[in-house]
Amino acid sequence: MLIREVMHPDPITIAPDVSLSKAYSLMNRENIRHLPVLESGKLVGIVTDRDLRLATSKLAEHPFDPQVEIREVMSHPVRTTHSNDPVEMATQIMRELKIGCLPVVDETVLVGIVTNADLLDAMLRLTGVHLPSGRLDIGMPDRPGELARLTKIIADRNINIHSILTYSEAGKRMRMVLRVNTMEIHALAKDICEAGFEILWPPHIICVK
């Protein structure tokens, strides 16, 4: 999954000489939290709703006047991503820097923006139920050929696999979560169990190993 599949293209932007007050109204009107700041077509900074509220807060030691220009409070230089980067890379950068969005810049042109909400949507696409299906949670040794062995059992029953999610459990074993198009999940789980795989879900699958 690449950034260009999840990003918002053509984001709303703002110029550096606009006042904080106007920037804040723009965010409210468009129902957004992040504004890339563009000067002569180039990305020169970014400002969030939180930046604006903190800068102007009465609780601040030296609150900014709502009429000062955005360039006074914007963050820069801006960390960006490329539309062909994988989503996991963007996720990692955002988590490391504890930031909520990344402008997408191809060569020198701003082409989109990706926010943490987009990454949650990506998570839903990876893990969600998009077609009627049952769910299998399987533990398997981390070695070549195991997944092929597993999917053959499913294919032999003429069952379609709608999604496979996999993650490693700290070197112990691989976890596979499959969404499979079958009403007979117990019978399938039993076949898989009998082939030597560990069935973690559904529970209580009894088989002869």
Partner 1 sequence: MRKVIYHPKYKEYDLGPQHPFSPVRVKMVLELLDSLGIPFNPVQPELISADRLKEIHEPDYVDIVEAVSNGEAAKDIGQYGLGTGDNPVVRGMAEGARWQCAGSLLGAQLLINGQAESVLQMGGGFHHARRGLAAGFCLYNDLALAVKTMTDHGWHVAYLDLDVHHGDGVQEIYYTSDKVMTISLHESGEYIFPGTGWLHELGQGMGRSLKLNLPLEPYTEGDSYLESLRKITEPALAWFRPNALVVQAGADAHFSDPLADIMLTTQNYQKIFSYIFSLVEKYCYNRVLITLGGGYSFFATARIWTLLYLMQQRYEIPAELPGSWLNRWRKIIGTDAGNNFHDREKAYRKIPRKGDIERVNQAMAIRLLDAVAGDWL
Interface residues with partner 1 (CB under 8 A) are 129, 131-137, 157-160, 179, 181-187, 201-203
Q: Is 42 left (phi over 0), alpha (psi -120 to 50) or beta?
A: beta
Smallest distance, partner 1 to C-beta of residue 7, A? 26
Q: In whole angstroms, how close is the CB of 204 to partner 1 at the nearest point?
A: 8
Provide the minimum distance between the beta carbon of 150 and partner 1 in the complex, in angstroms, as a whole number: 16
Smallest separation (angstroms) from partner 1 to the CB of 161: 11
For 157, the token pair is: 């029953």
List, in order, residues 6 or more apart from 128 with CB less than 8 Å away.
none
Please check whether residue 133 is in contact with residue 179, taking contact to mean a CB–CB distance below 8 angstroms.
Answer: yes
Q: φ and ψ at 143, to 5 degrees?
A: -150, 160
| Token couple for 19 | 């006042």
CB of 90 to partner 1, least distance (A): 28
Residues facing residue 110 across a β-bridge = 105
CA atoms within 13 A on the CB side of 183: 0
Least spacing, CB of residue 179 vs partner 1, in Å: 7
Q: How far apart are CA 142 and CA 39, in angstroms?
A: 51
Tell me whether strands 101-106 and 42-48 are parallel, antiparallel or unpaired: unpaired
* For helices 185-194 and 146-156, angle between their N-to-C axes, nearest 10 degrees: 140
